[in-house]
Amino acid sequence: MTTRKPRGEYRGESRSGSKDRGSFQRNSRALDSAEEDLWIYGQHATLLALANARRQKRRLLATPEARRRLAEELEPLTQSASLQIEELHRRDIERLLPEGAVHQGIAMLSQPLADLRLSDWRPPETGRCVVVALDQVTDPHNVGAVIRSAAAFGASALLFTRRHSPGETGVLAKTASGALECVPIIRETNLSQALESLHKMGFLTVGLAGEGEESLEAIPNDVEKICVVLGAEGKGLRQKTRETCKQLVRLPTRPPIDQLNVSNAAAIALYELLGRSS
């Protein structure tokens, strides 16, 4: 059985059964989301959202086929959430979701998760702690894929700007394939100030850039706290972000292809920082 590394904690009262990923409470310094309810759809995204005690659930829809197929997983989750399954035909579910949504016969209406600030989170006390920061990456498919990789490789948290980054949507949740429920997502107004705060917490901040003098693999193994910063495709890291990072590093790509999609770059960086040692 694989043992997951600690992900860090939210500051606040721990909920029953949680360990190291932290807790959340409404009277903490976290910011309540002003967004309206959203539909989460797809098997993995819906089941993990249903299992998340921090998420406020409204409705759970399933086709008769999906209800039978997922009965073993759904029964304890719906009982725990005190939620009844509404059986609908596939076309009736599709009418409630964005056009083209691949729902696999199941969807849930819920509130978005509350925003989290850096001051509400603390890193794990043992093991290497990696935070992934995105510098104005706006495409929800790319961001969702980064969240999924962060959960898969054991990143401790993600750091986004409050503007110029996607909010929580069904597309983001579906692309993340349930990982939205697993990794703390921190949103700050100013990324450079957030990186400075991480410096004070003992983090080495490294920006991925093609002109980095050293490869990412050159970071010593004894560096326990690392924040890897990635920019949007094309423009990359902003100048202020570059200046704030303690170090610019590159991935060992070869010409003529010297750039990767941000989600691919994040996955490679996370494997280099966390996967090799697992």
Residue type, 221: N
Confidence bin at 277 (pLDDT 50/70/90): low
38-110 and 118-275: identical CATH topology: no
Q: Domain 38-110 adopts which CATH fold?
A: 60s Ribosomal Protein L30; Chain: A; (3.30.1330)
pLDDT(149) > 50: yes
SS3 58: strand
Lowest mean pLDDT among 4-8, 30-34, 191-195: 30-34
Residue type, 215: S
Domain extent listing, the chain? 38-110, 118-275
Confidence bin at 176 (pLDDT 50/70/90): very high
Concatenate the DSSP letters of all residues of 52-99 into one string.
-TTSPEEEEEE-HHHHHHTHHHHHHHHHHHT-PEEE--HHHHHHHS-T
Condensed to tens digits (0 to 9), the pLDDT of residues 180-211 reads 999 999 999 999 999 999 999 999 999 999 88
Mean pLDDT for the chain?
86
Angle at 258 between CA 256 and CA 263, to 5 degrees: 135
Q: Which of 114, 113, 51, 112 is nearest to 83 (CA)?
A: 51
Condensed to tens digits (0 to 9), the pLDDT of residues 87-111 reads 999 999 999 999 999 999 999 999 9
pLDDT(22) > 90: no
Q: Domain 118-275 adopts which CATH fold?
A: Alpha/beta knot (3.40.1280)
Alpha-carbon dihedral sign for residues 7, 23, 30, 114:
positive
Whether residue 214 contacts residue 247, with contact meaning beta carbons closer than 8 Å, is answered with: yes
